[in-house]
Amino acid sequence: MSHGDITYSARMGRWEPGAAGRLREAALELYVAQGYEQTTVAEIAERAGVTARTFFRHFADKREVLFSGSELLQERMVAAVEAAPADAGPVEAVAAGLAAAAEMLGSNHAYSKRRHAVVTANPELRERELIKMARLGEALTVALTARGVAAADARLAAEAGIAVFRTGFERWVAGPRSAELATVLSDAMRQLRGLVAD
């Protein structure tokens, strides 16, 4: 039985908030322990203490458990690009988008590290991640164009920003928990600027 994001579990015997979050965590635990392909929706639901029906209220399939925040990430990055100061160049505007991404993703290093390991180990998930990045690049290009940036320049800045995001994120998850995603992304952007200057 469900009421909004509060789901009743007979096993738990009470109303529990945050079914979507519990399902995400349960799925990731199972993917790490036994592999993505070997894990079923029924197993994820059981570990989260909900029914399979509840699972499908939140996610279309077991893949989307890992990608359900993609739309929100895109919205926040685009909003940050749009809100960048009027005199900011395209690279600075994209950097604002990266800062927004760091704010959203940087608070849970352990989860991000495990998720990244699961995604990179599975070709289907890697393809889905690439599609997500491509859509994000398109959205940033549109946002930059709306700021008056020429289309070719907007695409180049957006794609460079995506490259910085991917590279920086990979460095962050591979590094110590104490590292700040915002700092790692900022360092990666600085590295790119240095390469261009050379």
Nearest to 67 by CA among 28, 41, 17: 28
The pLDDT tens digits for 23-36 are 999 999 999 999 99
Q: Report the DSSP beta bridge partners of residue 116.
A: none
Distance CA 166, CA 147 (A): 24
Position 195 scores a pLDDT of 84
- Alpha helices by DSSP H, 8-108: 19-34, 41-48, 52-58, 70-83, 90-105
Position 7 scores a pLDDT of 32
Percent share of the chain, pLDDT over 90: 85
Position 69 scores a pLDDT of 87
Lowest mean pLDDT among 6-20, 49-63, 85-99: 6-20
The domains found in the chain, sorted by start residue, are: 2-62 (1.10.10.60), 69-197 (1.10.357.10)
* DSSP states of 153-176: HHHHHHHHHHHHHHHHHHHHHHS-
The pLDDT tens digits for 138-169 are 999 999 999 999 999 999 999 999 999 999 99
Judge contact between 68 and 59, C-beta under 8 A.
yes
Position 193 scores a pLDDT of 86
Position 17 scores a pLDDT of 53
Position 119 scores a pLDDT of 96
- Does residue 46 register a pLDDT over 50? yes
- Does residue 173 register a pLDDT over 90? yes
| Backbone torsions φ then ψ of 104, nearest 5 degrees | -80, -40
Judge contact between 55 and 45, C-beta under 8 A.
yes
Position 198 scores a pLDDT of 60
